Structure 1
């Protein structure tokens, strides 16, 4: 049975293996989250086996800790039955909650294992109360993990509207630069989908900035997409006040020392904040030493992330992309084997001693930078062994900065802490009743269980068996999950019994109570995945005349699409105020094309005004890209409504939920699917529900971080950046020389598009034979003439006038659908 929630905030720690689980429990976590070998977004973690699960849940519950299982990946059509089996396994083992990204999986889990809580993963991209409201109308969940891009003020807005779902927020650990659930980079560049737990961390790699065709000299700023880490320990009181229920620590790939250190600091912060809130006895606050431990165990530099508001350069300075640790100072003197540092008087210097590891930051290629362990410290000189340190002191000079990367003494202390800790066992209080009289056994009963001694009570000659003696012996419950709460002594007469007999009846009682526990922990139903699949008819597979739609991003591209006679045209403009111009262009052209206006990919708290602006433009339809837009337009049956790829429809269960719950006309097939998986989806879904993007530049990173503001202005937000995104054409060049186009949207969010277009043209006839009718091509930065050429090539392909080979000769695109080979391979 799932453990009950209490009224206290929950501290949720990561566990990639058994040691991390033990470390989290020792350090005071209320719950841990972890993955199994399948369907979890951290496949590189050790993870737990299916065989581990019952033992792990028993261990956690024994210590009063909950276990949340991450099934937070997209589920493909052919995996539905395997996912169902895993759900049943989790329910049988007593899992407390499932962390889920895929809506179809959530629907199935609710029906199959109704007692297991459902937590909406951060990969559901919940960025506004309206998005959460949409989820609540489908099937309420017990928790919503909010996107990490929200500020404290934006989180507070959730409490001001009618949403009932408790909120969970990440408070510490690595930050993804892209919105979780909206990153296609690893997939686009290297066949490793982040939505499938295979992130290749392309954000941590160096890039060059190319502005208007010229490479900009960025100096040491090469890691343009690598955020510093999150540390919201100082914001805990504000988050509690905002109504946050659960405080989540990132790090299923981290060490048990990281888990232990970070968990115990946040345990301290939450307890101190709650003591202040409730007016109870004040508890010690988080100290500088505590924060040093946070920074030392793992850090790329600690920030408050987006929680304290937008400050692009503060979050992503671009100087490095891997662990750094605390800043020590700047070298003012360097000789062969030793250095002296200049440390600002206002800065508290981290402790430094022999054996600590440091790295020299000379602003050079991070793969070539030098580091070593300190040999000894004499006065203000830091000395390294000239032979064994491996340092080339010719490269060490004044002006180079020094960072502390390891503290072996601290690591040893933390390791000893979690390995030797004896965390409290969650105790069930026992109210015991003791009965008997001389000539009969002594009986102990509680909770419907009764145990008797093997020998009878006798008449006491000197000291009869007293209540104090009974309590002393029967309360010795040690590391059992029970504790004596009360004892009712109903012995008749002056009784005597050997102490050994009392101890044995106590052991017998514990064994009887344990045996009475139910073997099946969580209820399961007879529902199956097949119960939720959409109904199909023979006509669904009928090959029909294909229809081509075109997504345009500028008025010249729209003009090209109108001139080419495209029946349905999507407009995805950076500035939604231009949508009225698009409608006017169509009307003045005399074309009969339907104009479908795209919503922003992200709608944050307070941004629904964009949706109203789009509505006022008078479109024929809408391309809906997030849960808030689905909620806002839910009852608009007078408009064509198409769900975009960002809704992550990867299986027929999810397709059915989205189509029916949002009254959609069609859904765009998820970009995570390759051709085999696309065909499997079509085979189990009414084909007229679906649309497939046949040609596009894959939108890789979609992020709150603004590269334009950070590296092309002296500002910190859109208020003072000067809008360089409107003045320059910007690309990022990756490590193999490929250029990728960067664009900003109306919310100043950046999207990095793959520089190479991809096409599924060679699969077209196979797709058409499967019954799929609706196809889309997406333009990026093509001018009017190139747009006409691309559109007409695909019109010819769909009409059978040219072959895929002939089309490829014209458009020069990579031959892939969905998952592509790319520059990370």
Structure 2
């Protein structure tokens, strides 16, 4: 029998917890009311959390608590106190995103297992190693990895690896999406994503002849849901420790059906010694019926899916295809459908058109007679449906009453899933009655009763009778898998005594299983003010003696006029372009003008890109590069031999003082503050002797995606790979509010970066940022003209020099999060 990975189920509330455990999840992940990335789920109050952990532990499941958001300085102590609470009440691990919080967690709760969240954007072996340096014992890998990449990482590390196998996919790399935050103030990194990726967009092009709409409105950023049910054998062979189901915002029925189905086929896989198991059509249909978004995808497990990743036409639950509308009676509010699937009263249907009319089925007729159920091939009238419907519209069944009822039985409180235990009764003449019980986790209980068996006057205790009494586990979460006994000759024992000693043993076993970590005590959290370490210095103190630097980040190489218009102290240039000998001259020209030149590494580098960074980083110094801006912690290891100072980009999500401390410990000489911080939060932060950078101008990145909408919409190739279209012009996505978001495609990786629709411009904040200790002020340059670059650069330079302390207000720009934050 092969060793199976853990099946990890989502829990958004108490009913989902029961559904997951009753359908035999090995572990669950859930959140409290604070600091979790699904803050809009029901979640658990503290005392309910304690009960949830006990419920799961008694039944043999692990519980992982989500503390997977960014934490600011003011919240840090509260976050640690919450971590200490869940540690004390028995959580098996804490899922963490914030690198600063991770450092404090290791310091205060060193034996508390930490899982580094998928929000940490770990996609290679070096990233896993950096997570280990943070103190993690498990890493949740990025959902964009292929099976081959996952397997290669697993072969080269002893760290536990966890991967998503089912549920919603994000368009962006997790932890790198700021779209919801920047346009609506609801941050995914703070647990309140509004999912603007599920809204419609149009693709535009921009060129010498103006703007053109290249595609009609569609859900161009909305991926289908992931399903790996048919590929479990391949997933198991990768060597990962845990298979994770997404869905803490989903219903208990969803948790029940999906968890139960994956459990069924994992067990079948184990029984078949790893041979591939094909799910039945009924089980595949049930999983699709309970929730799918435009069908299912295998994501990036086997290749880049291109346009097949995207739902495009609908970004909501689709259900299963029911049939085609062949008639409509407006007066009776009924539709006539030729069925291609079964339908019953109480099922939910939806008609696919712009209005998406639908309802629960409360009337079914065939040949004028009322019916309760209909089979495929039948043509029936269904009511009641309001809204526009026409012949030829497609109908989908979006809920199945019988399926939901079946799922509901697993979380109805009957507790059908039992932990197998072994019982042994000893009844010897003249010795106290004894009962032993053991469970699969190695716990053993022995109860020595007060009753001493005596010689039977009438009927002695028979083995069959003893076995029957031992096997009675009642409403406990146990099932007696095996009963053994030693019974003396002609011994008499009242059945009430056997029942009493058995009940006492089961109660004691429940108590041991409930209290999995009996020696844990909550440590006293002493961090200084608001979670800050005693050795922190205010960044204003550090910054006061540091020269002010104006930097420019170029998304792409521009023409000579744009390059010559830059008057900053430092320029960041795309690193992979710098490996081209043709750009050495441009670097030289910048340096001749007294401008530092840094290489900017993207937030995601994989495969060939990682190899290039490792093998060719030393060549950067030779052409005059003076530093490297890194976008991911993995690049600390990748660039260890670069012999150039490393600086952290905003994509490291530096959101608090402890994150600054952590990147300094990793050897970075500077760090760019998160774009989601407000001014008050920056003013509270402490520093550790490194350069602190803040963005004051330009289109900030709001998403980095492995999927390219340009190729997906326009390429002739289904996988959209290496189509080269991103080199042929400028592209934008337009949302329903007419806002336009520039797209920057990468012809090497076919990755895509989405920029903010509005340019940030906060010259009036430079004085406040300077007083807060910021040392470097960044401009992002995208489509600006040389004249605009010169004008903005000159104003910002004056602000840095204190020559213009009250700039005029600028219209048409955003102030980002400096005023409100997230």
Q: TM range, normalised to the smaller chain?
A: 0.7 to 0.9
CA distance in 1: counterparts of 2:451 and 2:579, whole angstroms = 92
Which region of structure 1 is more displaced relative to structure 2, 505-514 or 627-636? Answer: 505-514
Counterparts in 2 of 1:280-429, with a 5 A limit?
A: 285-300=278-293, 301-331=295-325, 337-339=334-336, 341=338, 349-362=340-353, 364=354, 368-373=355-360, 375-376=363-364, 378=366, 382-384=379-381, 388-393=384-389, 396-398=390-392, 400-419=393-412, 421-427=414-420, 429=422
Given candidates 158, 162, 166, the residue that maps to 1:168 is: 162
**What residue in structure 2 maps to residue 105 of structure 1?**
101
Shift of the alpha carbon at 1:629?
1.4
**What residue in structure 2 maps to residue 346 of structure 1?**
none
Counterparts in 2 of 1:484-523, with a 5 A limit?
A: 489=486, 495-511=491-507, 521=518, 523=520
Shift of the alpha carbon at 1:650?
1.0
**What residue in structure 2 maps to residue 224 of structure 1?**
220
Counterparts in 2 of 1:141-180, with a 5 A limit?
A: 141-160=136-155, 162-180=156-174
Is 1:660 the counterpart of 2:660? The answer is: no
* SS of equivalent to 1:88: helix
CA distance in 2: counterparts of 1:511 and 1:743, whole angstroms = 62
Given candidates 550, 565, 575, the residue that maps to 2:552 is: 550
* SS of equivalent to 1:717: coil
Shift of the alpha carbon at 1:60?
0.6
CA distance in 2: counterparts of 1:209 and 1:444, whole angstroms = 72
Which region of structure 1 is more displaced relative to structure 2, 208-217 or 314-323? Answer: 208-217
CA distance in 2: counterparts of 1:703 and 1:149, whole angstroms = 9
8 Å CA contact 1:761, 1:815 repeated in 2: no
Gaps of 5+ in 1: 1-5, 344-348
Describe the shift of the 1:426–1:655 C-alpha distance in structure 2 as closer, same or farther (beyond 3 A). Answer: farther
CA distance in 2: counterparts of 1:804 and 1:581, whole angstroms = 42
8 Å CA contact 2:306, 2:708 repeated in 1: yes
Describe the shift of the 1:46–1:641 C-alpha distance in structure 2 as closer, same or farther (beyond 3 A). Answer: same
Shift of the alpha carbon at 1:89?
0.9
Shift of the alpha carbon at 1:481?
6.2
Describe the shift of the 1:417–1:60 C-alpha distance in structure 2 as closer, same or farther (beyond 3 A). Answer: closer
Gaps of 5+ in 2: 368-376, 438-442
Output one character per residue of 1:114-155: Cα deviation in whole Å (capped at 9) or x when no partner.
44322111111111122112222443x332111111122222
Given candidates 636, 643, 646, the residue that maps to 1:630 is: 636
**What residue in structure 2 maps to residue 815 of structure 1?**
815
8 Å CA contact 2:596, 2:626 repeated in 1: yes
Describe the shift of the 1:522–1:119 C-alpha distance in structure 2 as closer, same or farther (beyond 3 A). Answer: farther
8 Å CA contact 1:24, 1:259 repeated in 2: yes
CA distance in 2: counterparts of 1:751 and 1:819, whole angstroms = 26
CA distance in 1: counterparts of 2:512 and 2:324, whole angstroms = 66
CA distance in 1: counterparts of 2:516 and 2:20, whole angstroms = 26
**What residue in structure 2 maps to residue 260 of structure 1?**
256
Output one character per residue of 1:134-187: Cα deviation in whole Å (capped at 9) or x when no partner.
222443x33211111112222222134x22212211111111111110000111
**What residue in structure 1 maps to residue 371 of structure 2?**
none
CA distance in 2: counterparts of 1:533 and 1:756, whole angstroms = 37
Is 1:641 the counterpart of 2:638? The answer is: no
Counterparts in 2 of 1:679-718, with a 5 A limit?
A: 679-681=683-685, 684-686=686-688, 688-718=690-720
CA distance in 1: counterparts of 2:656 and 2:696, whole angstroms = 19
CA distance in 2: counterparts of 1:61 and 1:819, whole angstroms = 45
Describe the shift of the 1:470–1:275 C-alpha distance in structure 2 as closer, same or farther (beyond 3 A). Answer: closer
CA distance in 2: counterparts of 1:166 and 1:706, whole angstroms = 31
* SS of equivalent to 2:501: helix
**What residue in structure 2 maps to residue 725 of structure 1?**
726
CA distance in 1: counterparts of 2:444 and 2:716, whole angstroms = 73
Shift of the alpha carbon at 1:81?
0.7
Shift of the alpha carbon at 1:67?
1.0
Describe the shift of the 1:804–1:572 C-alpha distance in structure 2 as closer, same or farther (beyond 3 A). Answer: farther
TM-score after normalising by structure 2:
0.88
**What residue in structure 2 maps to residue 51 of structure 1?**
47
CA distance in 2: counterparts of 1:606 and 1:377, whole angstroms = 61
Output one character per residue of 1:459-517: Cα deviation in whole Å (capped at 9) or x when no partner.
433444566655554454444467586767486x8543332233333334445566678
CA distance in 1: counterparts of 2:406 and 2:487, whole angstroms = 51
Shift of the alpha carbon at 1:420?
5.9
CA distance in 2: counterparts of 1:445 and 1:404, whole angstroms = 53
**What residue in structure 2 maps to residue 576 of structure 1?**
577
8 Å CA contact 2:693, 2:776 repeated in 1: yes
Output one character per residue of 1:21-50: Cα deviation in whole Å (capped at 9) or x when no partner.
111112121111111000100011000111
Shift of the alpha carbon at 1:82?
0.6
Which region of structure 1 is more displaced relative to structure 2, 478-487 or 46-55? Answer: 478-487
Describe the shift of the 1:358–1:788 C-alpha distance in structure 2 as closer, same or farther (beyond 3 A). Answer: same
Describe the shift of the 1:8–1:555 C-alpha distance in structure 2 as closer, same or farther (beyond 3 A). Answer: closer
8 Å CA contact 2:306, 2:720 repeated in 1: no
Shift of the alpha carbon at 1:690?
1.8
Which region of structure 1 is more displaced relative to structure 2, 514-523 or 576-585? Answer: 514-523
CA distance in 2: counterparts of 1:452 and 1:353, whole angstroms = 57
Describe the shift of the 1:609–1:484 C-alpha distance in structure 2 as closer, same or farther (beyond 3 A). Answer: closer
8 Å CA contact 2:337, 2:381 repeated in 1: no
* SS of equivalent to 1:805: coil
Shift of the alpha carbon at 1:604?
2.5
Shift of the alpha carbon at 1:331?
4.9
Shift of the alpha carbon at 1:711?
1.1
TM-score after normalising by structure 1:
0.88
CA distance in 1: counterparts of 2:215 and 2:342, whole angstroms = 33
Describe the shift of the 1:292–1:450 C-alpha distance in structure 2 as closer, same or farther (beyond 3 A). Answer: closer
8 Å CA contact 2:565, 2:787 repeated in 1: no
Describe the shift of the 1:512–1:228 C-alpha distance in structure 2 as closer, same or farther (beyond 3 A). Answer: closer
Which region of structure 1 is more displaced relative to structure 2, 52-61 or 468-477? Answer: 468-477
Shift of the alpha carbon at 1:724?
1.5
Which region of structure 1 is more displaced relative to structure 2, 413-422 or 86-95? Answer: 413-422
Aligned alpha-carbon RMSD (Å): 3.2
**What residue in structure 1 maps to residue 273 of structure 2?**
277
8 Å CA contact 2:603, 2:631 repeated in 1: yes
8 Å CA contact 2:307, 2:719 repeated in 1: no
Counterparts in 2 of 1:423-572, with a 5 A limit?
A: 423-427=416-420, 429=422, 437=430, 442=433, 453-454=449-450, 457-465=453-461, 470-480=466-476, 489=486, 495-511=491-507, 521=518, 523-524=520-521, 528-529=526-527, 533=533, 535-537=535-537, 539-540=541-542, 542=544, 544-556=546-558, 560=562, 564-572=566-574
